[in-house]
Amino acid sequence: MTSKFCSNCGTPLRAGATAERASETTSTISISGLEAYDSETTGQNPLPSLTPEAQAAVDALPAGSALLVVRRGPNSGSRFLLDSELTTAGRHPNSDIFLDDVTVSRRHVEFRRGSDGGFTVTDVGSLNGTYVNRERIDALVLANGDEVQIGKYRLVFYASQRGFGI
């Protein structure tokens, strides 16, 4: 016998009963500033749409920097600036990007800026792994619009369009 549960609250649904409300069979995720996109159906990886405020932040990025926007997970809509040679992310309080969730390792990933201004994300031995565009990675050079998953957090990467050293 298969049990079904409400995706919002976890309440068991009666066998054979039809959902009385849409919330009993579907879940809605607030993205706060980003619109969801489905690269699987289009075969492309378009940049997610940003709110005017978030787009202004991306447009104003200094040369050689980048922005991570939390698309999903705790603190959805939060933004993290990558503006140094090395930025650490994890559950350790001294991480540059503190991600307070048990699915995140204390020292989970590092974002490194290369000499060309591009950024590489490197998993530093996390328990649950790091994913870019739903593929598990050890290290990968990031491109605009890449989705980095760290535990329950899904962050979208946006690089400065000003170039490096300009």
**Residue 166, pLDDT score:** 43
φ, ψ for residue 156, nearest 5 deg: -100, 135
- Indicate if the pLDDT at residue 110 is higher than 50: yes
What digits encode the pLDDT tens for the residues 124-142?
999 999 999 999 999 999 9
Overall average pLDDT of the 72-97 stretch: 94
Burial code (b: 16+ CB inside 10 Å, e: under 16) for 41-56 equals: eeeeeeebebeeebee
- Indicate if the pLDDT at residue 11 is higher than 90: no
Helix boundaries (H) for the chain:
39-42, 52-59
Lowest-confidence region among 20-24, 72-76, 77-81, 105-109: 20-24
**Residue 54, pLDDT score:** 77
**Residue 29, pLDDT score:** 36
Overall average pLDDT of the 99-110 stretch: 96
**Residue 36, pLDDT score:** 40
φ, ψ for residue 159, nearest 5 deg: -90, 150
- Mean pLDDT for the chain? 79
- Indicate if the pLDDT at residue 86 is higher than 90: yes
Report field, pTM of the whole predicted structure over 0.85: no
**The one-letter amino acid at 116:** D
Topology of domain 51-159, per CATH?
Tumour Suppressor Smad4 (2.60.200)
In the block, residue with structure tokens 């549960």: 5
What digits encode the pLDDT tens for the residues 19-69?
444 444 333 333 344 434 333 333 444 566 677 877 888 888 888 899 999
Both tokens of 132, joined, read: 């870019």
Question: How far apart are alpha carbons 87 and 139 in whole angstroms?
Answer: 14
Instruction: Return the domain boundaries, the chain.
Output: 51-159
Position with higher pLDDT, 118 vs 6: 118
DSSP for residue 23: G
